[in-house]
Amino acid sequence: MINVNNIRIKFGDNEVLKGITTTFDRGKINLIIGQSGSGKTVLLKTIIGLHEPDEGEIIYDGRVFSGSKSKFKKEIRKEIGMVFQGGALFDSETVEENIMFPLEMFTNITLEERLDRANFCLKRVNLENANHLFPSEISGGMQKRVAIARAISLNPKYLFCDEPNSGLDPVTSIVIDNLIKEIAQEYNMTTIINTHDMNSVIEVGDKIVYIHEGHKWWEGTSEEIFNTNNVELNNFVFASEKMKKLKFNKV
């Protein structure tokens, strides 16, 4: 479980997060949604320690993460897997080397053990025999799968994904959604996904947190989101559907 308690962050005079409190349960897929500039990316980065809150606490299973010493934070970071927007693979390293990078950074296991783990992770994301290819030699969807394989290489308790479907076609987006869902359930990981993709909200989200102008404006389930009277949330959720209808009316 991850507890977010009254988180506030300012950049200069601009208060980006305004007292956000929520809980992300163990083994659940939690989605953070909101318009660009709403603060959702800052919230995600704060939870994983890339930003330090001005007020409030981030707590991992009873362990206060925010404001802690770097050595303590490093121990918790060993339990975190991260899928960055765009994949963020190292272009000069092979698929295999990308997946082994966290193992080299956070463990003392042998090269043979690292290779075994890399092969296991590649098999789990259905990319066997891609070991020696470079990111430029594989598709965008395959790059996202490599990023997921790297994120689970340390067998994390917590999985974070920043816009995992960014730049992907609808069919590939569904493949990535299903893969994340399968892995999260299989390993009982607390999973937090930052997304604009409404298909993800419908298909994989156990809990949805909607951020609006730095506030937690709404939270609930994927079923509840379609029956809410929250005006700002409805405008956000149904914007894409309105665009689809407009497009079809013009055909």
- In 3D space, the residue among 29, 17, 41, 64 whose CA is nearest the CA of residue 180 turns out to be 29
**Quick check: 248 pLDDT over 70?**
no
- Rounded to an integer, the average pLDDT of 19-41 is 92
Residue pair 220/208 in contact by the 8 Å Cβ criterion:
yes
Q: Would you place residue 228 in the very low, low, confident or very high pLDDT band (cuts 50, 70, 90)?
A: confident
- Evaluated on CA atoms 167, 138, 101, 190, the torsion sign reads positive
Cβ burial 57-67 (10 Å sphere, 16+ → b, else e): bbebeeeebbe
Output DSSP code: residue 3: E
- In 3D space, the residue among 128, 125, 163 whose CA is nearest the CA of residue 146 turns out to be 125
- pTM of the predicted structure, to 2 decimals: 0.88
**Quick check: 251 pLDDT over 60?**
no
Q: Would you place residue 226 in the very low, low, confident or very high pLDDT band (cuts 50, 70, 90)?
A: confident
pLDDT tens sequence across 61-112: 999 998 888 888 888 988 999 998 877 889 999 999 999 999 998 889 999 9
Residue pair 171/3 in contact by the 8 Å Cβ criterion:
no
